[in-house]
Amino acid sequence: MRSARVFIEERALEYPLGKELWDRFSARGPAPTLIGSHNRVGLPSLKGFKAYAEAKRTLVVGVRKTLSFQSCKPSAHYQLPLVTSCPGMCEYCYLMTTLGPRPYVRVYVNLDEILGRALDYVEKRAPEVTVFEGAATSDPLPLETLTGALAKVITAFGRTALARFRFATKDDGVGPLLDLPHEGHTEVRFSLNTRTVIRRHEHRVPDLERRVAAAARTAAAGYPVGFLIAPIILDSDWRADYGDLLEELATALREAGLPGGTPPTTFELITHRFTPKAKQTIRGIFPGTTLPLDETRRRWKMGQFGYGKYLYRAEEMEEVRSFFEERIAALFPEAKILYLV
């Protein structure tokens, strides 16, 4: 991540990592500013896209105070908060709505406390296995060279029989993770999309080739890998484009020389959907977006938490389902589709 400005919480300097980051940024820039709380950050007074883009280039180094982890059903038992937000600028990102006015990137220096708390949770749930999700409010991988947080968790969980970790990423900086003693306890899920969707709607994230290559290297290092294809956007060429994506992925995994060709992997498939609030937020930040946000072409569905979303119509969903089930079965015989929504 190339930050335009760095804020460091005073308390963070009491931790070795906070001190190290202070020294690092003081020596190489941008010069860090000391702040009292990582929740109170002074940013340039801007609006819309400019405000969002500047916030995403702002790094805040702080101490994570809340050490009770939120639940993360159904994919994991708990969230594991190592980072908040990410430097990417995807137009459809749900964090735009959930992080509201504070989309800047936050890393935490009290990693031993966070990890210690995670291991307490594991102990309490024994003899059951406890699964933690590391990407519920972030993409943690682009920040790994700053904090080493993922390496710490992966190594500790590798030593803990009942702990499992999973995170999703659009980044390709997997190098520092490849030789860790993960013992198969961490699953890395790569978030992919067609070249068209990436070109139109994803910004400041690695391109498809780099993500696919990173996935192949990660699988070759023995990690369980998964693929998150989201949001699936049904433009006029979607069948050809998603077909190409799956073929390219299968080829890369085969060429990685894994025993048995493609590994037993998982797919999570999420079609594009939006809430009225998300549409308003997206239009406020990306006024020229070409995301398909026309309600008249969608079906409205009320959710269990009291708010509704616009989904693709039932017949389109059926088409998507049979397309992906067929292609994935043909190209990845060992793979499992965890869900398609």
Residue 86 as a binder of ligand SF4 (CB under 6 A): the answer is: yes
Contacts with 258 (C-beta within 8 Å, 6 or more apart), sequence order: 219, 220
Site size toward ligand SF4 (CB under 6 A) is: 9
* Interactions with ligand SF4, residue window 87-116 (CB under 6 A): 88-90, 93, 95
What is the CB-side half-sphere exposure of residue 263 using CA atoms within 13 A? 24
Closer to ligand SF4 by CB, 127 or 288: give it.
Answer: 288
**Considering the complex, what minimum distance in angstroms separates the CB of residue 255 from ligand SF4?**
26
What is d(CA 10, CA 189) in angstroms, rounded to the nearest whole number?
35
Binding mask 206-245 for ligand SF4 (x = CB under 6 A): ----------------------------------------
Residue 60 as a binder of ligand SF4 (CB under 6 A): the answer is: no
68 and 56 in contact (C-beta within 8 Å)? no
What is d(CA 245, CA 25) in angstroms, rounded to the nearest whole number?
39
Distance from chain centroid for Cα 106: 14
DSSP letter assigned to residue 91: T
Closer to ligand SF4 by CB, 95 or 162: give it.
Answer: 95
Six-digit token string for 153: 């968790």
Report the residue from 205, 216, 228, 253 that binds ligand SF4 according to the rule CB under 6 A. Answer: 205
φ, ψ (nearest 5 deg) of residue 245: -60, -50
DSSP letter assigned to residue 98: H
Nearest to 8, CA basis, from 121, 146, 112, 142: 146
Closer to ligand SF4 by CB, 283 or 327: give it.
Answer: 283
**Considering the complex, what minimum distance in angstroms separates the CB of residue 270 from ligand SF4?**
11
Q: By CB under 6 A, which span of 24-32, 70-78, 83-91, 326-334 interacts with ligand SF4?
A: 83-91
Binding mask 164-193 for ligand SF4 (x = CB under 6 A): ------x-----------------------
φ, ψ (nearest 5 deg) of residue 3: -90, 150
Residue 139 as a binder of ligand SF4 (CB under 6 A): the answer is: yes
Binding site for ligand SF4 (CB under 6 A): 86, 88-90, 93, 95, 139, 170, 205
